[in-house]
Chain A
Amino acid sequence: MIRFLAKRLGQAIVVILLVTVIVFLLLHSVPGGPARGILGPQASPQAIAAFNHEHGFDKSLVQQYWAFLSRLLHGDLGDSYTLNQSVGSLIGQRLPKTLVLTGLSTLVALVIAIPLGVWQGRRRRGLTDYTVTTLVFVGYATPVFFLALILVIVFTEKIPILPPQAPQAQTLGALFADSRALILPVLAGAIATVAAFSRYMRSAVLDNLAEDYVRTARAKGASERRVVWLHIMRNSLTPIIAMLGYYLPVLFSGALVIESVFNYPGMGLLFWNAAQTSDYPILLGTVLVIALATVIGSLLADIVQALVDPRVRGSIR
């Protein structure tokens, strides 16, 4: 296990380094650099030269990358060109907010999707299965911005019981204190995810229902409840766990549309706006965080899967 972890950790560091190299090269190969975008067309050549000098764009790519890397090793992600703050503090502000939103949405989605998938698997091809499948497909196919707006219009205007924007507080404590305002954004994020997870769960349950161990359990006189909720569900969770692991970067990268509609500045918007304004340090910083989340997510998925599924354990050495 330790050998496995060390190997994966080594791989993770290489992957993250490669990601930084690729993103760095891609960004820095944009002709003209970010100066024009940041300073605007009225900027004089002197101002552009001063900007390029200040941010090291007048040096070779290798020198620039080395400077970036050595800053990174000191824990410094650089300063945003446009927001007058360090990238570290920006991510520090946005990431917890984003994780609250995406984490809660996923949790809500799982709480609904897992039982729903099992229930549907058990009643496959029945009227209720078809009805739920249709509803789930509608939820999955509806663009999130449209869904979010329907929720806003219904629950803040037609039946005004919820506020139209997410909590505006800066701290996590204050964020949860205004929990009513979290309902709509969390719901908007959860609906599409419910669809994805419940479909996976349903098909996993269907596969497992045909397995020998189910027949054996039934033959041994296990109650149907025990067969379904203990044997089938546990075995059916494997694909969901794998999916959740790979879902981690999604949690970290934020929910751009929901953040945008509900006035909730998180990681998604930070990245989107930085891309619009050529704010390279933010782009590099957020890509790094997402890359980190990706490798950690896949590692976690493997470990948890091994804990749940003894068959997988053998391959982890």
Chain B
Amino acid sequence: MRRRSPSFPATARTPLAVLGVAATLLVAGCSSGSGQGGSSATGGTPQQGGSVTFALPPNATPNWIFPLGTPGHLAGYNSAIRQNVFLPLYAYNGSSGTVAMDEKAGAAKAPVYSNGGKTVTITLKDGLTWANGQKVTTRDVEFWFNLAKANKAQWGNYSKGDLPDNVAKFTTVNDTTFKLDLTKAYNPEWFTANQLTYVTPMPQSAWDVEDASGKVGDYDRTTDGAKKVFKYLIGEAGKLSEYASNPLWKVADGPFTVKEFTTTGQVTLAKNAKYTGDDAAHLDAVTFKPFTSAQAEFNVLRSGGVDYGYLPALAVSQQKTIENSGYQVKPWNGWAITYIPYNFNNPEMGAVFKQLYIRQAVQMSIDQATISRVIWHDQAAPGYGPVPQQPVSKYLSQDQKNNPYPYDVNKAKALLTSHGWTIAGNIASCTKPGTGADQCGAGIKAGTQLKFSLLTESGSTETDNTMQELQSSLSKIGIALSIKSEPLNSVLDHSPECKPNQSTCSWQLSFFGTQGSWYFPAYPSGEQIFATDGGTNLGSYSDPTADKLVKESTSSSDPQAMQQYSSYLAKQLPVIWMPNPAYQVSAIRNNLRGVVQDPLAFMQPQRWYLAK
């Protein structure tokens, strides 16, 4: 599925890493480790300056700095790092305790919506300047829009109908204020959180050039010119080894500038001495250090080589050792949901999956609490619906919060037997076909057996164990689950959205595993995953009520819309809800303070500081 920003979670994912960590545990045993006897994580005097090393997840190599990412360059820590150099118009993060707009981390004041949600007026912050001394103005925002519009096919975040298509007109009011006329009314929260966050003012006075001559003009104002400028900037962005030296990227307006950006992925951000906003960095430098495996990172962490690292999933039992070495160990929870889509178009089982009572029975057979506690060592949390269960937000309905289908195998079994299924030899067979209340349901023939096949990601012990647990509990209600493990890319390839007559439609259930949680943007609406025409509605789920609720959540300004959507889908079960693993289990050195583990997987290192 998708990780919104960093594309690889840090926990041990590859078979190699798993083997490695298992071996460490064997060798190290359960020794508590003498460590360096760390200081406490509280108290102390905050100090200015100093540098911090942050461990990047395995093979997450930052490789893009330009605010418009081309396909293939959206992953990694690119946007998390870039946001500290080039401020987005709006930033959302978890610094307030829940996912919300963080005005301090953006370039503009809160937007004002008018005309029934069809017009938005935005004023940039006063006094924000680029490193070349020029003011950040509406021209810099217009520059972004011009480039995005002329080159949308090459912009990796582009989705038809969304930004920039949904902005009919960009009007400059003055140097700091501009107005966007939208093509239709949108839910202001959705538009700000999921669309305007993509907009990043870019230094037109330095970047509006067509070629290496560096002559600045208003080239972006014609489509042809905007294409040339984009081509030039993309070309420069392709020279990874020049990121730290190319004068283009020096024109920053964020609290940091790029000091080092190696081709192997090590990035050092240095405090931007010319930053004029109100969110200046405390630290002098933050180094993002790449690692080849979670095991390699863990070895360095154990010897105190990083200030902010992570524990591979299998090493969570070594928490005490790491704590004794002077770190706090904290899960970093993601703004995500984890699920297994049903393929409603599968010619064999589609009709079965379409029965709500079957989906209810399946959901009630999954002991999410035990899976989270035992298999995930409490580093995953049960999820009951389409909105992230944690942190609690205003989008979460009571129905989803309270789990409408608690674990109850007997009830699940009764649901099947009361609908015309007879369980013999651990397999349920339809003995009462038909559409009556006590019959199997439309499209299910007599003798149909509940035999599901599940495609799952290989290489993760937690995923393997979870699938085994699923197989075992489903067998208790007469559902035989056959599991096939494949590498993640292969799973993705083999479970496309499909029509029943297509050969690609043979998949029934698909789990993208620990790397496959769906990370939402700040506004967790489901137009991509649960709307009939959603781009990643892999199982072809289609429900007119769900479509209506999804539409309302993105286009009406009713604050209840998201809750209604959360409640309806929590009960309708378009997918199997699964425990959502933490983004990573972090180890933060005790004297590093001010860290908020942002559920959106961004970072605000400008607020980190070292305490004495």
**Interface, chain A (partner B; CB < 8 A):** 30-32, 36-44, 46-47, 50-51, 81-85, 89-90, 93, 143, 145-146, 149-150, 152-153, 156-157, 160, 163-165, 168, 170, 256-257, 259-265, 269, 272-273, 276-278
Contacts and interface: CB of A to CB of B under 8 A. Distances in A.
B240 A263 contact: no
A81 B75 CA distance: 12
B45 interface: no
Contacts of B296: 165, 260-263
Contact of A85 (B14, B33, B240): B240
Contacts of A160: 303
B465 interface: no
Closest 9 CB pairs between A and B?
A37-B489, A263-B296, A84-B63, A164-B299, A260-B293, A146-B23, A164-B303, A149-B23, A32-B493
Contacts of A85: 63, 240, 263
26 contacts: A39-B72, A40-B2, A40-B75, A41-B536, A41-B538, A42-B535, A47-B71, A50-B71, A83-B61, A84-B238, A89-B263, A143-B23, A145-B20, A145-B23, A164-B303, A165-B296, A165-B305, A170-B264, A256-B16, A260-B296, A261-B20, A262-B299, A263-B292, A263-B296, A269-B59, A276-B14
B72 A260 contact: no
A43 B71 contact: yes
B20 A31 contact: no
Given A37-B489, A156-B303, A256-B16, A51 B71 contact: yes
A68 to B, nearest CB: 19
A164 B153 contact: no
B489 A276 contact: yes
Contacts of B14: 276
Contacts of A265: 264, 290, 292
B300 interface: yes
A261 B299 contact: yes
A146 B305 CA distance: 22
Contact of A38 (B28, B71, B266, B290): B71
Interface in B473-517: 487-489, 492-493, 496
A41 B1 contact: yes
Given A46-B160, A259-B292, A264-B292, A84 B299 contact: no
A81 B72 contact: yes
B490 to A, nearest CB: 8
A160 B35 CA distance: 12
Contacts of A93: 263-264
A82 B17 CA distance: 21
A36 B497 CA distance: 12
Given A156-B302, A269-B292, 9 more contacts: A39-B156, A40-B1, A47-B156, A149-B24, A153-B24, A170-B263, A257-B16, A262-B292, A262-B299
A84 B240 contact: yes
A36 B64 contact: no
B26 to A, nearest CB: 8
Nearest to A35: B71
Contact of B528 (A42, A164, A272): A42
Contacts of A36: 489, 492-493, 496
A164 B489 contact: no
Interface of B: 1-2, 14, 16-17, 19-20, 23-24, 26-28, 33, 59, 61, 63-64, 71-73, 75, 153-154, 156, 158-160, 237-238, 240, 262-264, 266, 290-293, 295-297, 299-300, 302-303, 305, 487-489, 492-493, 496, 528, 535-536, 538
Contacts of A47: 71, 156, 158
A263 B291 contact: yes
B16 A145 contact: yes
Contacts of A272: 16
A253 to B, nearest CB: 16
Nearest to A164: B299
B153 A46 contact: yes
B19 A145 contact: yes
Nearest to B325: A157
A41 B534 CA distance: 11
Contacts of B300: 164-165, 263
A37 B491 CA distance: 10
Contacts of B159: 44
B489 A278 contact: yes
B493 to A, nearest CB: 5
A41 B2 contact: yes
Nearest to B303: A164
A65 B516 CA distance: 34
A272 B59 CA distance: 11
Contacts of A168: 266
A261 B303 contact: no
A277 B299 contact: no
A261 B71 contact: no
Among B2, B238, B292, which residue has the most Cβ atoms of chain A within 10 A?
B292
A61 B385 CA distance: 45
A14 B313 CA distance: 47
Contacts of A146: 23, 26-27
Contacts of B73: 84
B160 A37 contact: no
A273 B59 CA distance: 8
Contacts of B295: 145, 149, 260-261
Contact of B299 (A40, A44, A156, A257): A156
Among B75, B262, B295, B299, which residue has the most Cβ atoms of chain A within 10 A?
B299
A114 to B, nearest CB: 31
Given A36-B489, A84-B240, A149-B295, A157 B302 contact: yes
Contact of A153 (B17, B28, B263): B28
A275 B252 CA distance: 36
A5 B14 CA distance: 44
Nearest to A264: B292
Contacts of A90: 263
Contacts of B263: 85, 89-90, 93, 170
B535 A84 contact: no
A206 B296 CA distance: 42
Nearest to B64: A84
Among B14, B72, B160, B488, which residue has the most Cβ atoms of chain A within 10 A?
B72
Contacts of B536: 41-42
Contact of B493 (A37, A149, A277): A37
A230 B237 CA distance: 60
Contacts of A41: 1-2, 492, 536, 538
A41 B316 CA distance: 30
Contact of A277 (B305, B489, B538): B489
Nearest to B237: A84
